[in-house]
Every structure is written in structure tokens, then in C-alpha cells.
Structure 1
Amino acid sequence: MQFLSRSRGSLTAVVFSVFVAVPAAWAGTSADPADNGSSRTLALQQDIDSVIAYWTPERMAAALPAEVPTTSGTAPISLKPIAPENEMRREDGAEPRGGVRMMAADIHSMSGRIFYTDDQGQNRSCSGSTVNSNGKRVVFTAGHCVHGGGAGRTWYSNWVFVPAYHAGSPYGVWSAYQLWTKNGWINSADRSYDVAAAVMNPLNGVRIVDAVGGQGIKWGYGYGQYIYQFGYPADPPYNGSMLYYCQGSTWNESGFPTISCSMTGGASGGPWLESYGQTFWAYIYTVNSWMFWDPDPTHVYKWQGPYFSYDTAGNLFDLVKDM
């Protein structure tokens, strides 16, 4: 696992030990995965200002890492007919327009730390990435970074995305207009559908992808992809202040893309990028969902993400792309 320095192209390795496996979590049942559910809309300026003001540097520093899923799921399953053009599809990324200088648009400007208050009243953090779309307002992350998942759980509040986070951001704090995730996550906490999209409010009249750039996205491309996995781990030995990455080929483990990595909690929702380094943007292949450790959560040795099919990521992207 490696730390990604803020200088373009400069990498510093950080090495941790690998430990024996922890048992996988329980299997669960899911609702229809082609359905999406959304949070309330945050549009009034006074509400937006209140959410941004809530996240003082002290609250950001004290935020706990996200709770990770505990239900294994049944990935991947398609319950509805899918048009052939959607079975395997990719959408390209985009450069910023009127925000970050083009030469500064990179993994740092398009990745960010997410802060929110969960449905139990705890301030927590995740990771996420901007994604290019027609509306230029989308951030992708994990479902468990927007909703508690399962019976009695609900949407999170005070939700913000901070690009290029490093005890603050040169690009500001962006509030969510709406949060979206799969009903399979909302109803059953099934990590087969642990993916989410946030539609962001403009900041100073500028849309977030125009400001910082946006990654592409792809689905239906199978396993065995060589990817770079990014996130802001916040559990020890990390503190959430820096963007880290792992790299390698994914493999299929019970239907979930899997990769070796020692990032800890807080990296949830961070992107797995395919074709990284070929241009300033790459394709999101999945997001950090679930980690395995031994003997405790500070000794992580692999991560999994939901398989990106049209049922999981594709129709979610299509739903929010024009917002």
C-alpha cells in the first residue's frame, strides 16, 4: 500500500505486513437491484451554508471512519432485462472548465474526503471521487457512506465532499444536493449494491466537475482488471489526512472484485481506477466497500467492492447523469 504524494508523478512506498484471513460476513437477501432510492433535496442557500459551516476543521479532524457493511450479499445478479448497449459500457472523464488549471487536474483534485453525520448522530468520514456526467455534479462513493442500510436505518445528514483533502482543501467544501443509492442497500444492507451517487450543489456558481475534473466510469467489464485503488484511510496507523493507493490485478471472490491492500477504515467509497495514468482521468471500476483483517481492523490485508454491472452502477449513473 502506498501514499500518493501531492507532487504529480511522485510516489513513496509504505509497507505493512499481511496477515491470515478473517472469515467472510453473513449472506443476506436483497431488494430489486434495479431500483434506486434518494434522500431529501438540499437546495435552499441557508441550508447549504449551515451544512458547510458545520464542518469546522476540528469536526473534520475528529470524525470517525465509516461503519463498513456486515452482510455479504449475493453478487452479481440481474433481475431485469438489460439492453445490449448497457451490458458493457463506459463513459469518459472530463477536464475542468474554469476551475482547477488543466495541468493541476489529477487524482488529487478528483478524489476527496467525505464527511457526514450518520443516522446514529456520529460524525464520520468516507472517501469518494467526482465522475463526469452531463450535469457535471456527480460524486460516486459507497452506499454505506450515504445511508445506514437495513431495517430501522436511514439517510445521513451534513454530507459534504472535500476534494484534495489535506486538513482542508484548496478547492473548497461542497455540499450534497441529493444522495442516491440502491434499494438493495437501503432495505437489506446488501453489499452487492453498496454503491452511491451524490449530486452536488454548485459552489460559488461553479459545478464540481467543471471545478476539479471528473473520472470516467465503466461497468460490465469482468474481473482480472489491473487497477489503482485510492482512499483516505483514517483508522490507525493512518489519520485520514492523506490520499493513499494500492495497485494490482483484481480477482473474483464470491462475485466481488477483490484486491490486496492494507488501507483501513475511512477509505470506504474510494475509487478503483482502471486505465489510470494513461491520461489525467481514468475509469471507476468499483468502490471500496468491505475490508478483511486479522487480528484487528488496524491490520487489513484485502478489500472488496460491489461488481459494477448495469444493475448496480450503470442505472444509478444514468439516473443522476443529467441532474
Structure 2
Amino acid sequence: MRRALIALGIGLGVFGSAVVSGPAQAANVLVVPLARTVSAAQEVARFWLADGAANLKNATPYAVRTAVGGERLPTDIVPDGPPMLIAPGRGPASPEGSMPTTSGKVFFIGSDLQPHWCTGTAVQSPYRNVVATAGHCLLDIEAPAGPLAKWVFVPGYSEGAAPFGLYVGKQAEAHYDFDDIRDHDRDYAFVNVYNGVVFSAPDVLTNVGKLGDNVGGQGLAINQPLAPAADVFGHPAGPNPDGSRPYTGETLERSTGPMFATKVTGLRMDRPIGVDSPFTGEGSLGSSWLIRYADDSRTGYLNGITISAADTDGDGRYDTGVSPYFDGELYEVFKQAAYQWTGGIA
């Protein structure tokens, strides 16, 4: 379903003003409550951090809608409005050659009542509290009864460690068409997280500050031509169709390749896009596709987000990541998330 883009008027450096004035909620934006109170958020944080972060360590990659049939197309995508760029925000300096600190894992409880994870990334916003991921890493599409439970983001996650803290989701913004009719052209979500926390002593939560202050935030690119090169950052972990398992999911991986139009089977999508990437679907759901990525600043512009993977040449290995095209309707959802304040829980 296509709706007219409303209230554009955004360009490079749009968040430069010191005055933050939130927009009225757009008609196609779904606001999803998560841990809406401080006490609820504290309970979620303790669930993941207790017993030496046992639930983080025991979580498994989310394996819902991780693979589709796919075909690469020679055509291009027609934007639905003018191109827009939101500039990234740099975080603290990190060692040369390191991976972006904005990437990490989102953890939640699935409909099987077990802990799982996808990939997520911090995105620049006025309150520095927005995480982007796949829509079905937020909304439970196996048992459609609302959001996946106990949702948190851990940037820089590695083997149970939360080097920049754990960030509990307060609420999220998604597209009504994904929730209502499972339109995977709208399979994306932006989550507002509280300030990060760590355990400073057993069961004692300590505030470590805003997400964007700690790790920075990637920019956002809307209505762009398909890029000749995009860098994909994610935590792939599942097997290829041939049974091989090239990734463990424990470390952040990077792949670089061109973007292109695709045709997929198995998902309701009118205009999916693809990126040349060997990432398996499990674990990489929610991976960021960054265009104009700079190694020195470790920042770029988010222009795609993995919702599935495809083997387009039939060799038994995944070669394509699949994403919705980032158009004006995605910007409406992001804009609603960008102006939501959250605060701390400790």
C-alpha cells in the first residue's frame, strides 16, 4: 500500500537545531509500547544481566523468515520523493581499523519463550536513543500478539560482554502495514531505548548514559539511487542451504558489495532490494547496510536493513541480503522515533 509522503522538509544536518519539536504522529506509524515504566525496564535489564549475563550468553539467533527465493533484476528503483540525508553522529574515538561501535545485538524473548537475538544499529537522532532493526525483530509475526518481550540492545556485544552497557527498549515505531497485512516492504522498526545500564555490584544497576553519546549514531539515507557499494555489518550465525556454517555469530562481521533490485518469493513485497553479501539469514536479520561508509570515522548512512537472505544462483550458498527500499514512508516512521525522549532507569 502506497501513501503520499507528508511533511518532508529535511536535509543534511536536519538535527542541528538546539530546539527539538516533535511531529504529530503520521497516520501510518504504529507506536509499539515496550518497557514503559522505570520499574518494568529495571526488571528487563536484570533479566539479561543477572547470573553473569547468562540469558545473553544462552540466547540463540532468531530463525524466523531468514531465507527467501530471490532473483537479481537489472532494473532500478523509482523513489517516491526527493532524496534526503541525515548526517551521522560520531561517538568516542576507537582504535584504528576497529568495527563500528554502533552495531550490536538486539535481544528478546520469542514466541517459544526462549531468548533470541538479531542485529541492530544505533542511528543518529536528537535524543541519541534510536536503534534500527528489522520489523520482525520487534513484532512477533509467529504469534501476532504484539511485540517480542524483554527487548534490549547491546552495542559491541561479544560473548556475554556489554562494553557500552545494555539499553532497554521503552517504545518502538513501526509501519502499520507491516503489523496489519505483513507487507515486508515495511519490515523495519526504530526503537527508543533508555540510557544504558551495567551491574556495578550484584543486582545494582548503574547508569552509563545515552546510547549516542557512548557509541555515536549512523546517518540515514532516503530515496537514494541504488548504491554501487554498501557495507553490511551484522552477526550472521546460521547455516547455508548446503549445510555449511561459515559464521558463529559471536563477532561483528562486514561484507561489501553493490545494491540492486530484486524479486523475491515467500514474502509479500512489491519492490525489495538486494545487496551482494555472503551473510546467512540467521543472526544477520537487522544488519545495517551503510553507504558512503568511512573507515576513519566508522560512520556512514543507513540505506538498507537485512530482513532475509537468498541464494540467487543456486549454488547452495547465500549470496544476497534482502531489504525494503528506504523511501518516504520509512522516513515518516523514523521521524516519529527521532523525537521521543526516554531518560534513564538507574
Shorter-chain TM-score tier: 0.7 to 0.9
| Residue aligned with 1:102, SS | coil
**Alpha-carbon distance in structure 2 between the residues aligned to 1:143 and 1:227:** 21
Pairing 1:200-279 to 2, within 5 Å after superposition: 200-203=193-196, 204=207, 206-236=209-239, 237=245, 238-254=247-263, 255-264=271-280, 265-277=282-294, 279=297
Q: Name 2:179's counterpart in structure 1.
A: 186
Partner of 2:9: none
User: How far did 1:308 drift?
Assistant: 0.2
**Other-structure match for 1:281:** 299
The equivalent residue for 2:126 is 134
C-alpha contact 2:45 2:168 (8 A) present in aligned 1:
yes
8 Å CA contact 2:87, 2:301 repeated in 1 = yes
1:150/1:185 contact within 8 Å kept? no
Aligned 8 A contact 2:119 2:284 in 1 = yes
**% of aligned pairs identical?**
22
- Which range is displaced more, 237-246 or 127-136? 237-246
Large movers: runs of 4+ above 3 Å: 30-34, 69-72, 103-108, 149-153, 293-296
Secondary structure at the aligned position of 1:199 is classed as strand
Q: Deviations over 1:160-199 (max 9, x none)?
A: 1111111112111111011221111111222111110000
Distance 1:270 1:214 in 2: 14
Superposed CA deviations along residues 115-159 of structure 1, whole A, max 9, x for unmatched, are: 001244232110011001111110111101000238834211110
Q: For 1:61, which of 57, 71, 74 is the aligned residue? A: 57
Is 1:307 the counterpart of 2:325? The answer is: yes
| C-alpha displacement of 1:225 | 3.5
Deviation at 1:310, TM superposition (A): 0.9
Instruction: Tell me the residue number matched to 2:168.
Output: 175
Structure 1: tracts of 5 or more residues without a match: 1-29
1:318 Cα deviation (Å)? 0.9
CA apart distance, 1:41: 4.6
Structure 1 pair 299–60 and aligned structure 2 pair: CA distance change class (3 A): farther
| Residue pair 1:63, 1:124 contacting (<8 A) in 2 also | yes
- After superposition, the Cα gap between the structure-2 partners of 1:104 and 1:160, relative to the gap in structure 1 and judged at 3 Å, is farther
In the alignment, the residues of structure 2 paired with residue 306 and residue 282 of structure 1 have an alpha-carbon distance, to the nearest angstrom, of: 18
**Mapped contact 2:171–2:192 kept (Cα < 8 A):** yes
CA separation in 2, counterparts of 1:140 and 1:175?
A: 14
Counterparts in 2 of 1:317 and 1:257: CA distance versus 1, 3 Å: same
**Partners of 1:247 and 1:136 in 2: CA distance:** 27
- For the Cα contact (< 8 Å) 1:118–1:155, is it kept in 2? no
